[in-house]
Amino acid sequence: MEESFLLELAEEHGTPLFIVDHDIIRENYRRFRTALPRVQAYYAIKANPEPEIIETLFKEGASFDVASLAEFLRVYNLIKSWRKQEKSGFIWDKIIYANTIKQIETLKRLRPYKPLVTYDNESELVKIKEHCDTAGLVCRVNVPDTGSMVEFSSKFGVDPADAGYLIEKAFSLGLSVEGISFHVGSQCTNPDNYVTALNISAEILDEVEKRHRLRLIDIGGGFPIAYLGNEIRFESLARIINSELERLFRRELEIIAEPGRFMVANSAVLITQIIGKAKRKGKLFYYIDDGVYGTFSGVVYDHCQYHFSSLNKKDGEKEICAVVGPTCDGFDKVSMSEELPDDLQLGDYLLTRNIGAYTTVSATDYNGIPRAKILHMNR
């Protein structure tokens, strides 16, 4: 979207203003499917659970990765008017509950839907057997996540050496194991993580299939977007993944993935307004109407650094300055090293791009400061 148009939207709707372009979401989905033709994309709703985004991807033919009953029901609401057989088929083929630890009440409520769920420990198997024995199971394996912006290996995944036992344990309980999954960490810029994980999964699969036939491999998410411009290009990573998939897995084995950030990060921009300006120990501080307790929550929870440009003034002498949020908390600093014009004034606007993932979903109304208004374009 042109900056002149964004400026008009800010004047019309006020700030902070979070603008989602659904044309970009559709483009990202199609780009993923083109680059990884063998892989079905299960959108990780946690990245941005806006119902409008889910509906756009639903219409594109996406499947969905959910991590809670609430997320499951957001997808289910799109098909609740379907016939029972159609709904059952969709839930089995198009939704994976990819949180390895589930509350008992959640399992009870999921049981009638016969869901596909992940697990990575024996205690979870006992819960599933008792409260959701209709589920199809996917065993999540711990894999390296070196070089990823957000790591998962310290919290999730059975050790590869124990995966065969854990799969056999599920079968011995009368449960059905459908496949193996892994996650190389979010915003993974190290392609070796995928290569290693795929080879680990293939070794486990070969051992398990001496006794049981599995039907899918879930390669997780982590597909990087260009925050800085020096990340590996997605198509280059896809070529590596495609090569390993062809080498390691039989053609009839279903391959799925859980892209979240990749689908939505670059689809949104945020417009903020300067509400304060001061010099602090020689450094210029710009105070804006959103911060780390709001849309910039990804600074804290996603380990992501966002950047700013001036939306309506370009001519001032640039200097390194701080951009901080509106709350009374000293922690509320978005960036301490932004290069911006030094002549920006109260009421001027700043623009942040690539802010569609892991931002509004974790925003709060701390200090009673309202969250950003969300505007959906090109639906």
Q: Are residues 69 and 158 in the same domain?
A: yes
C-alpha–C-alpha distance, residues 324 and 362, integer Å: 18
Q: Are residues 253 and 303 in the same domain?
A: no
CATH code at 160? Answer: 3.20.20.10
Q: Are residues 233 and 250 in the same domain?
A: yes
pLDDT in tens, the chain (379 residues): 899 999 999 999 999 999 999 999 999 999 999 999 999 999 999 999 999 999 999 999 999 999 999 999 999 999 989 998 898 889 988 999 999 999 999 999 999 999 999 999 999 999 999 999 999 999 999 998 887 888 778 789 999 999 999 999 999 999 999 999 999 988 988 899 999 999 999 999 999 999 999 999 999 999 999 898 878 899 999 999 999 999 999 999 999 999 999 999 999 999 999 999 999 999 999 999 999 999 999 999 999 999 999 998 777 799 999 999 999 999 999 999 999 999 999 999 999 999 999 999 999 999 999 999 999 999 9
Q: Are residues 77 and 118 in the same domain?
A: yes
The pLDDT value given to residue 92: 85
Among candidate residues 263, 285, 320, the one where a domain is terminated: 263
Q: Are residues 194 and 180 in the same domain?
A: yes
Q: Are residues 184 and 319 in the same domain?
A: no
The pLDDT value given to residue 189: 86
For this structure, is 328 an active site residue? yes
Q: Are residues 72 and 153 in the same domain?
A: yes
The pLDDT value given to residue 304: 93
Q: Are residues 153 and 234 in the same domain?
A: yes
Could you check whether the bond before residue 160 is cis, i.e. omega within 30 degrees of 0?
no
The pLDDT value given to residue 250: 96
C-alpha–C-alpha distance, residues 177 and 197, integer Å: 19
Q: Are residues 80 and 94 in the same domain?
A: yes
Q: Are residues 12 and 81 in the same domain?
A: no
The pLDDT value given to residue 84: 87
Q: Are residues 9 and 30 in the same domain?
A: no
Q: Are residues 52 and 130 in the same domain?
A: yes
Among candidate residues 263, 279, 298, the one where a domain is terminated: 263
**What's the structural domain count of the chain?**
2
The pLDDT value given to residue 147: 78
The pLDDT value given to residue 188: 87
Own/partner pairs for 162-167, CB < 8 Å, 24+ apart? 163/139, 163/204, 164/204, 164/207, 164/208, 166/119, 166/120, 166/121, 166/122, 166/125, 166/139, 167/139, 167/204, 167/208, 167/212
Q: What is the domain range of residue 46?
A: 22-263
The pLDDT value given to residue 208: 98
Kind of pairing, strands 268-280 and 17-21?
A: antiparallel
Query: For residue 132, what are its two tokens?
Result: 């959701």
Among candidate residues 203, 234, 263, the one where a domain is terminated: 263
